[in-house]
Amino acid sequence: MARLNRSRLTDLVARERAAYAEAHPRSAAAFAAGQDSLFGGVPMTWMTKWSGGFPLYLDRASGNRISDIDGHTYVDFALGDTGAMAGHSPEATVVAIKRRIDDLGGFTTMLPSEDAAWVGAELTRRFGLPLWSFALTATDANRWALRLARLTTGRSKVLAFSYCYHGSVDETFVVMGPDGHTASRPGNVGPPVDPSLTTRVAEFNDLASVERALAHGDVAVVITEPALTNIGIVLPEPGFLEGLRELCTRYGSLLLIDETHTFSAGPGGMTKDRGLEPDILVIGKSIAGGIPIGTYGITGDLAERVRAHPEADLVDVGGVGGTLAGNAVSMAAARATLGEVLTDEAFVRMVELATTFTEGVRTTLDGRDVPWTISQLGARSEYRFARPAPVNGTQSAAAGDDDLDEYLHLYTLNRGILMTPFHNMALMCPSTVPADVDLHTEVFGQAVDELYG
Ligand SMILES: Cc1ncc(COP(=O)(O)O)c(C=O)c1O
């Protein structure tokens, strides 16, 4: 097995950092200028998570290409960490938004528009759940759905998997502590209460740990991605998702499947692909082509159970809803994106490209006996610094390596490829072409050769 030479890695990172700094003086200056008025120097603090010491500054973007203010253009496999899975500014979405805001007018009015029912029906066709409600982010859709789950079950707790991510949802910032109990995730900013009061934790792919948690009888809802995607990709083992459904039913807990990232599996996400039967489904980010949106879908049975609580205030300030949610622009964008861009046919091409991407990386890793793995989830692939691939969040977190991340991000960036800064994820969109994947295969091979050669 190839062994990693850390001092070589340090030298290579230094070389790539220097090349990055030299090629991006305007981005560096813009970052410096932002320090005076922006918290962290950027519009949102996560944007500092960028290899090389300062982020690229966006000039323009189209399809799967991004150009920075220093005049470089990149093949974009990050796609806004899934927000731009439809590609940047897809034509059909742009036309629909222009019509909405230019011809018709009304960014936000607190009035329903006719597009919404079409979008709801299309989500039902794809994911199966009959009734939908809209938010501006997947985070909010998750938050509101957890409230409905607590309301209808009369139970207080949520079950979440160690190292899961569902947006900034307080209940989900948990890891499994050494004693098997719920612990606050490292770095958790100002939790309202200790998460062990709100949350029971289990390990993904470990039904026994799920059953131990559910057996307390106080879990309103199990929230999970059908494959973890925010701590590398952790695929479900055979029988895990079916077992999870069965345990939820047996112990009277609802099952919330968060498809925000796993939508990459196909037009109906993993829910359609694997025949899952969630009580609640959440998705956001990509379904409106990058215009803010989130949504939760619920079963008819759950809707009935909500209606059985007439005192719960769903139409004013009861804690479910938001002023700009369901606005006409989001709805027009979602209709166009689902109807014309992220179509069933587009997914076929995107998944084929991700398969080629995955095979290219695997051939390089096998050729040099590098102890990493690559996992594919439909149109998305990700390499992880562990072999065999981790089977749960805790294992996958342990496989993290900031130095390798920085090296690979900078190496690919300096050669015209954007990988997602949060992990080593690559996502295909309808405008990705085989030559883009071949470029990555070539550059990734060079990066590994220089590291292990
Ligand atoms: C699975 C999942 N759910 C929810 C979210 C939250 O999405 P947003 O940041 O748009 O609220 C994310 C964000 O990465 C996610 O990966």
What are the tens digits of pLDDT across the range 214-272?
A: 999 999 999 999 999 999 999 999 999 999 999 999 999 999 999 999 999 999 999 99
Range 280-303 average pLDDT: 98
Distance between CA atoms of residues 123 and 10, nearest Å: 48
Angle at alpha carbon of residue 451, lines to 445 and 453, rounded to 5°: 80
Ligand 1 atom 13, closest CA: 167
Ligand 1 atom 11, closest CA: 139
Q: Characterize the bridge pairing of strands 131-135 and 199-202.
A: unpaired
* Contact between 383 and 374 (Cβ < 8 Å): yes
Q: 53-79 pLDDT, tens per residue?
A: 999 999 999 999 999 999 999 999 999
User: Would the pLDDT of 422 be above 80?
Assistant: no
How far does the centroid of ligand 1 lie from the alpha carbon of residue 231, in Å?
Answer: 13
Distance between CA atoms of residues 453 and 451, nearest Å: 6
What pLDDT is stored for residue 231 in this prediction?
Answer: 97
Beta-carbon contacts of residue 151 (< 8 Å; ≥ 6 apart)? 306, 309, 312
Q: Characterize the bridge pairing of strands 157-161 and 280-284.
A: unpaired
Alpha helices in 50-160 (DSSP H): 91-98, 115-127, 138-153
Q: How far is CA 178 from the centre of its chain?
A: 27
ω into residue 310 within 30 of 0, thus cis? no
Token pair recorded at residue 170: 């307080």
Q: Which backbone phi and psi does 336 adopt, to 5 degrees?
A: -70, -40
Kindly report the pTM of this predicted structure.
Answer: 0.98
* Atom in ligand 1 nearest the alpha carbon of residue 142: 4
* Contact between 365 and 384 (Cβ < 8 Å): no
Distances (CA, A) of 262 to 205, 267, 296: 16, 10, 15
Distance between CA atoms of residues 136 and 275, nearest Å: 27
Q: How many CA atoms lie within 13 A of 349 on its CB side?
A: 12
Residue from 161, 204, 285 whose mutation best tests the ligand 1 pocket (most atoms within 8 A of CB): 285
Amino acid (1-letter code) at residue 157 = K
How far does the centroid of ligand 1 lie from the alpha carbon of residue 367, in Å?
Answer: 35
- The mean pLDDT of the chain is 97
Q: 6-44 pLDDT, tens per residue?
A: 999 999 999 999 999 999 999 999 999 999 999 999 999
Residue from 136, 166, 233, 271 whose mutation best tests the ligand 1 pocket (most atoms within 8 A of CB): 166
How far does the centroid of ligand 1 lie from the alpha carbon of residue 221, in Å?
Answer: 18
User: Would the pLDDT of 104 be above 90?
Assistant: yes
What pLDDT is stored for residue 423 in this prediction?
Answer: 81
Ligand 1: residues with CB < 6 A are: 137-139, 142, 165-167, 225, 230, 258, 260-261, 284-285
Q: What is the dihedral of CA 24, 30, 35, 39, to 10 degrees?
A: -100
* Contact between 64 and 70 (Cβ < 8 Å): no
* Atom in ligand 1 nearest the alpha carbon of residue 139: 11
* Atom in ligand 1 nearest the alpha carbon of residue 83: 10
Distances (CA, A) of 52 to 12, 18, 56, 395, 446: 12, 8, 10, 27, 19
Q: What share of the chain is helix, strand, coil (3-state, %, to 5)?
A: 45, 15, 40
Q: 106: how many CB neighbours lie within 10 A of its CB? A: 12
In three-state form (DSSP H/G/I as H, E/B as E, the rest C), the secondary structure along 276-332 is CCCCEEEEEHHHHCCCCCEEEEECHHHHHHHHCCCCCCCCCCCCCCCCCCCCHHHHH
What pLDDT is stored for residue 453 in this prediction?
Answer: 83
Is residue 393 within a helix (H) or strand (E), and if so which, with residue range?
helix 393-398
- Per-residue confidence band for 339, with pLDDT thresholds at 50, 70 and 90: very high
* Atom in ligand 1 nearest the alpha carbon of residue 285: 10
What pLDDT is stored for residue 421 in this prediction?
Answer: 83
